[in-house]
Amino acid sequence: MKIHAAVTSEDLPLSIVIGSGAEYDPYRFEETIGAIKVRTGYRPITRPEEIVADSIYDDAQVREYLRRRRIKASIPENKRNRKKRKRGRPRRFNKESYKKRSAVERFFSRIKTGFRRIILRYERLDRIFRALVIIATFFIYWEKLQEKL
């Protein structure tokens, strides 16, 4: 099982999608971004301003999805996706905003260090594994709340 997550700049998860480990990663991208709902006093925010993603998500479908929803994409080019030399206009990539991606790495390192049962995948049933991931994210939110108080 593979965990796909959309994370804030403070390494708090906004949406988590669990998929098969053998699955092509961009297939779960739309589901992960579509699950984002930040509740405000009014209408929930479902469209982030910018997405900073790993080069594994450098896919034409992913970029088209982000373009359709008018979301800025900061995704480095995956050189393995190119068979021929690059031609035409280079893809937009902001190195400064890509540095924000460390929040995702911090989130996954918290899961790996604090919740060993998730990483070793003791659970056979998918719904129990998903429940453990949700509990882990609850504890991550709880830690952040404790820091702010």
Query: Please, is 68 exposed, middle or buried when counting C-beta atoms within 10 Å of its C-beta (0-12, 13-18, 19+)?
Result: exposed
Whether the predicted model's global pTM rises above the 0.85 cut: no
The pLDDT value given to residue 47:
85
Q: Could you identify the residue written with the tokens 């070793």?
A: 120
45 DSSP assignment = B
Show Cβ contacts of residue 111 under 8 Å, excluding neighbours closer than 6 positions.
3, 118, 119, 133, 136, 140
The pLDDT value given to residue 78:
78
The pLDDT value given to residue 96:
79
The pLDDT value given to residue 101:
82
Look at the alpha carbons of 61, 65, 68, 70 in this order and tell me if their dihedral is positive or negative.
negative
Kindly give the parts of the chain with pLDDT less than 70. Answer: 81-90
The pLDDT value given to residue 113:
85
The pLDDT value given to residue 121:
72
The pLDDT value given to residue 68:
92
Give the strand pairing for 2-7 and 50-52. unpaired
The torsion angles phi and psi of 64, rounded to 5 degrees, stand at -65, -40
